[in-house]
Amino acid sequence: MAKKTKRVSIDKAQSGNHLIIAQDFYKGAKAATEQQSWNAAGVLIVHSAIAFADTITIKYGGVKSRGDNHLEVITILEEIVPSSEKNKKASHQLYRLIDHKNAVSYGGNIYNEKDIEQLWKYLHRFKDWVNTILEK
């Protein structure tokens, strides 16, 4: 039985707006990293990844996750893109990023440069995958 996710229908033409949002979060994360504002960078990295995922789910499925559980975007993403080893790896990178969301945002955890370097690694892998999907 398929996992039930909260989602909202969105016109596929709106995917471009979500791509811009993802890129804005990405740029903000770079600026926060340069300022050594580690938690701010972490929050923006995670939100950039979520917005990149929304770009794909909107462009190819006309839907986006609407729930408080940001991990649901992974379920939607896996429904929309064909199953492959490369796509599973991308989903895993996204999972790793979203898994940090509460810790970096609300958990009282102080992130440092090493933590953010790891999040950048996950984001770059995921973003590279997004770019290959968008080229299709």
pLDDT at 1 over 90: no
pLDDT in tens, 74-104: 999 999 998 899 999 999 999 999 999 989 9
The β-bridge partners of 9 are 63
Average pLDDT score over residue span 7-21 = 96
What's the number of CA atoms in the CB half-sphere (13 Å) around residue 3?
Answer: 13
The residue among 132, 135, 34, 27 whose CA lies nearest residue 84 is 132
What's the number of CA atoms in the CB half-sphere (13 Å) around residue 93?
Answer: 24
- Can you give the pLDDT at residue 4? 73
pLDDT in tens, 15-63: 999 999 999 999 999 999 999 999 999 999 999 999 999 999 999 999 9
- Can you give the pLDDT at residue 70? 85
The residue among 30, 31, 75, 73 whose CA lies nearest residue 55 is 73
Domains, the chain, in order of start with CATH, read 12-134 (1.20.120.330)
pLDDT tier for residue 3 given thresholds of 50, 70 and 90:
low
